[in-house]
Structure formats: structure tokens, C-alpha cells
């Protein structure tokens, strides 16, 4: 690689703090840890819809998975619960080091964009409300592809929109399934674990190029690895 990679950030949990939603699950299920169960199922079924060739809206799927989780746990989920979930997701705050990390990357000459499973709503996004929107040259949604990450079409769409080859892109995410998606197409992967995720060490599974526990530490590694390359 002779040029700085274009850094493509996942949004939910990577830049925005998913634990903001935990009180809703504590109130509803009596256990804030059900948040992680619900989120894992949401990702599983978003990917299922893509593999099955079925279009879906991520927000609607999130509500449907909440109702499914309630049925499994014998908890009645009402329309109010689904509305409260939508409100909580839409107001997730940024991780404390997100703004300073993005500012450093921009000062170092990196191009920054986002790629999210969430569809645009016509209203200020959670990213904008968290004060991070202006750091990015483009805020991309997978919606035009009719598929969710890590379907190849989502990263190929980002490549086209940003006018940069896939091999010159780096996916920054809190989820290994997301970094694997771009790495499988020849791009780079940078994983921030936030204390809740980790790489998969198994034969044939691409390891992220960079791994760090916080965004602040990850951007330092990004700068060390690629900061001296051409813009």
C-alpha cells in the first residue's frame, strides 16, 4: 500500500456507545445483559435476510428481534417497548474518545467515511446528534444495496461512492464479522474491542490488521502503520 487507506467506520457500537440502551433491557427483562443477546440476534437475522435475498429495514428488524426475544423469555413486548428501543438507539452518545480520535485522523490527512446498516431517516442521525457527523466526507448506508454488512455488495457500494479501490479501504469496527467482510475483498480491517469483542483465532479466518481496546489506542496504531504514506 503506497497511499493512506480510506478509513470506513462502522457506527453502532464502534463510534456510539451501545450500552446506552442497556437500561431499557434491565427494565424490560430484569437483566441488562439481554442487550447483548438481542444485538447478536439482530446481526444474525440481518445477515440471514441478506443470504436469503430478502430486503429488510434494519430498524424494523430491530423491533422484530426485540419481540422475538420477549417471546423466548416469556416477556410481553408492546409497541411502547419497540418505540423506546428506537428512541434509545437514536440517541446513543459517542464513546468518550471518539471525537478526539477522529480529529487526530483528519489532521493526519486520512479520508473518513461511515458505513452503517441503518437506513437514512431524513432526520438528524444518532451520529449527528452525538456531534460526530461533521468528521466524515460521506455517511453511507447499506440501504441502496438491499443487503446488510458483511455482504460484499455493501463494501463494493462504498468503494464506488468514495471512488477508491477496495484494497485501499480499511474497515474500522467493533465487530470481527465487519472487518472480515472487507478483508475478504482485499481491504484492511481495524478492530476496536471496547472490552466486549475480540478477534477469532481459527484457521482460515482473517485477523484484523490492527486491534486495540479503545478508539484512542487504535488511531495511534493507524497513524503508526499508515500515517506516513501519501494522502
CATH topology of domain 6-17+94-226: Rossmann fold (3.40.50)
Contacts of 82 (CB under 8 A, 6+ apart): 63, 66, 67
Average pLDDT on 53-58 reads 93
pLDDT tens digits, one per residue of 73-82: 999 999 999 9
Contacts of 154 (CB under 8 A, 6+ apart): 115, 142, 145, 147, 148, 181
pLDDT of res. 95: 98
Q: Distance (Å, rounded) from C-alpha 71 to C-alpha 163? A: 45
CATH topology of domain 18-90: DNA polymerase; domain 1 (1.10.150)
Find residue 115's DSSP bridge partners: 140
pLDDT of res. 1: 60
Contact 94, 131 (CB under 8 A): yes
pLDDT of res. 230: 80
**What is the SS3 assignment for 13-78?**
CCCECHHHHHHHHHHHHCCCCHHHHHHHHHHHHHHHHHHCCCCCCHHHHHHHHHHHHHHHCCCCCC
Please indicate whether the domains covering 6-17+94-226 and 18-90 agree at the CATH topology level.
Answer: no
Find residue 3's DSSP bridge partners: 230
Residues in the chain: 231
Find residue 189's DSSP bridge partners: 171
3-state secondary structure of 162: helix
User: Could you tell me the residue ranges of all domains in the chain?
Assistant: 6-17+94-226, 18-90
Model confidence at 122, pLDDT cuts 50, 70, 90, reads confident
Amino acid at each position: 500500500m503506497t497511499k493512506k487507506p480510506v478509513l470506513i467506520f462502522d457506527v453502532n457500537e464502534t463510534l456510539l456507545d451501545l450500552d446506552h440502551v442497556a437500561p431499557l433491557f434491565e427494565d424490560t427483562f430484569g437483566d441488562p445483559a439481554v442487550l447483548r443477546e438481542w444485538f447478536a440476534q439482530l446481526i444474525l437475522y440481518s445477515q440471514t435476510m441478506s443470504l436469503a435475498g430478502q430486503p429488510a429495514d434494519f430498524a424494523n428488524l430491530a423491533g422484530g428481534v426485540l419481540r422475538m426475544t420477549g417471546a423466548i423469555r416469556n416477556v410481553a413486548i408492546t409497541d411502547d417497548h419497540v418505540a423506546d428501543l428506537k428512541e434509545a438507539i437514536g440517541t446513543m452518545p459517542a464513546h468518550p474518545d471518539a471525537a478526539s480520535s477522529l480529529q487526530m485522523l483528519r489532521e493526519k490527512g486520512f479520508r473518513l467515511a461511515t458505513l452503517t446498516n441503518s437506513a437514512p431517516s431524513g432526520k438528524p442521525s444518532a451520529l449527528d446528534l452525538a456531534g460526530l457527523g461533521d468528521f466524515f466526507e460521506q455517511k453511507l448506508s447499506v440501504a441502496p444495496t438491499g443487503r446488510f454488512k458483511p455482504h460484499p455488495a455493501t463494501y463494493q457500494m462504498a468503494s464506488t461512492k468514495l471512488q477508491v479501490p477496495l484494497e485501499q479501504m480499511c474497515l474500522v469496527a467493533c465487530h470481527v464479522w465487519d472487518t472480515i467482510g472487507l478483508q475478504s475483498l482485499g481491504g484492511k480491517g481495524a478492530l476496536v474491542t471496547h472490552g466486549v469483542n475480540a478477534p477469532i483465532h481459527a484457521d482460515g479466518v482473517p485477523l484484523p490488521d490492527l486491534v486495540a481496546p479503545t478508539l484512542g489506542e487504535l488511531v495511534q496504531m493507524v497513524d503508526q502503520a499508515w500515517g506516513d504514506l501519501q494522502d
